Amino acid sequence: MSSENPYLPPASTSLGSSMPIPQAKERLRRIANAQRQVNLALLLYIAIFPVSFGLGAVGGGAPWAALLLSFFALAVIIMGAISVYKLAAVFRGKVVAVIYVIGLLVPLLGLLLLLSISSKATKELRAAGIKVGLLGANPSDI
């Protein structure tokens, strides 16, 4: 005689999708990691503006300060573009991810793309029951 209850519903093997649990967890981990990078790049990019004004006022327009800030800004922009590509590739595919990265070059469109892709990631992570903070979800919590 079997000890299993025949009246119990079958055990679920997914997190609300058609993917098995390990694949769904890996997908959520990639989303959380990319969203954290996108939000960090956005915060660093916002922080560049007060620093540039401060260096201009304190340094008196020193060329080394402007060059250093330019390299930092370029690094932040590249980091943001890579993380937007990763996040958009998870949601929409690689071709659309390239379009998102190209769209980042247009000032207002880039901001709207950042907000929309981060919002979509937040919704998906919260739907899976993961706590999302200012920088996104912690990938090690998944």
Query: If you count them, how many residues does the chain have?
Result: 142
Q: What pLDDT does residue 86 have?
A: 92
Of 24-33, 46-55, 79-88, 97-106, least confident by mean pLDDT is 46-55
Q: How high is the pLDDT of residue 99?
A: 92
Q: Does the pLDDT at position 40 exceed 50? A: yes
List, in sequence order, every beta strand (DSSP E) within the chain.
none
Taking the C-alpha atoms of residue 97 and residue 87, their distance in angstroms, rounded to an integer, is 8
* Residues 82-132 pLDDT 10s: 999 999 999 888 999 999 999 888 877 877 888 888 889 999 999 988 888
> What percent of the chain shows pLDDT beyond 70?
82
The domains of the chain are located at 22-128
Task: Return the H-helix or E-strand segment holding 10.
Answer: none
Helices 21-59, 107-127: inter-axial angle, 10-degree rounding: 140
